[in-house]
């Protein structure tokens, strides 16, 4: 659990600004779905909550652009971050103990959808517009996140059994 919180913090530091949107490109979604695929549902949720708690109290684990500490959770990327525990739990639950690529990848794709719904929802609240929220937080990222889901499915085939059931 701690390992995934640390991995998520590391993935957050590689943030590439995307022109026209306050949401950067990161590897965070990949780590979130991997936590769900590699840990059981409870452990996946704990790892994500630990990451959020560290960031909320001011430990610099969030991406280096944006408001610090708990303020980040109320900004344009807060919806994604708050969706991490839900996405990880859903991925773990859908994947179960499967060792089939199709099921693992489907679980990861569903997790990406949950992340995008979280981000989209917060952006709608901040912008007051669903079309703006789609343009700022979904359209620029969806193709890359689909690719990340396929990568997560493949990586999950080469890992050992779940660390915690």
Give the pLDDT band of residue 66 (cuts 50, 70, 90): confident
Reference 86, options 121, 36, 122, 38; nearest CA is 36
Give the pLDDT band of residue 158 (cuts 50, 70, 90): confident
Inform me whether the pLDDT recorded for 83 exceeds 60. Answer: yes
Answer yes or no: are the C-beta atoms of 118 and 87 closer than 8 Å: yes
Domain assignments of the chain as residue spans, ordered by start:
2-158
- In this structure, of 72-76, 96-100, 131-135, 139-143, the range with the lowest mean pLDDT score is 96-100
Inform me whether the pLDDT recorded for 153 exceeds 80. Answer: yes
How many of the other CB atoms lie within 10 Å of CB of 93?
14
pTM: 0.93
Distance CA 4, CA 76 (A): 23
Inform me whether the pLDDT recorded for 160 exceeds 70. Answer: no
Give the pLDDT band of residue 165 (cuts 50, 70, 90): very low
Average pLDDT across the chain, whole number: 94
* Tokens, residue 93: 């639950």
* Fold category of 2-158 in CATH: Arp2/3 complex 21 kDa subunit ARPC3 (1.10.1760)
* Total residues belonging to the chain: 165
Tell me what the mean pLDDT of segment 122-127 comes to: 98
Tell me what the mean pLDDT of segment 69-75 comes to: 96
Cβ-Cβ contacts under 8 Å for 28 (sequence gap 6 or more) = 8, 11, 12, 63, 80, 84
Tell me what the mean pLDDT of segment 95-122 comes to: 97
Tell me what the mean pLDDT of segment 71-85 comes to: 97
Inform me whether the pLDDT recorded for 164 exceeds 50. Answer: no
């Amino acid at each position: 659990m701690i390992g995934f919180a640390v991995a998520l913090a590391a993935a957050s530091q590689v943030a590439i600004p995307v022109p026209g949107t306050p949401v950067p490109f990161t590897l965070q979604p990949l780590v979130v779905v991997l936590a769900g695929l590699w840990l059981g549902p409870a452990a996946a949720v704990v790892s994500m909550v630990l990451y959020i708690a560290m960031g909320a109290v001011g430990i610099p684990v969030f991406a280096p652009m944006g408001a610090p500490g708990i303020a980040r959770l109320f900004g344009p990327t807060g919806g994604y971050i708050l969706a991490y525990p839900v996405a990880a739990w859903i991925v773990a639950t859908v994947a179960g103990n499967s060792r089939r690529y199709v099921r693992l990848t489907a679980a990861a794709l569903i997790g990406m959808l949950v992340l995008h719904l979280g981000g989209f929802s917060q952006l709608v609240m901040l912008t007051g517009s669903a079309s703006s929220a789609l343009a700022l937080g979904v359209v620029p990222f969806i193709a890359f996140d689909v690719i990340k889901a396929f990568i997560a499915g493949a990586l999950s085939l080469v890992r050992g059994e779940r660390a915690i059931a």
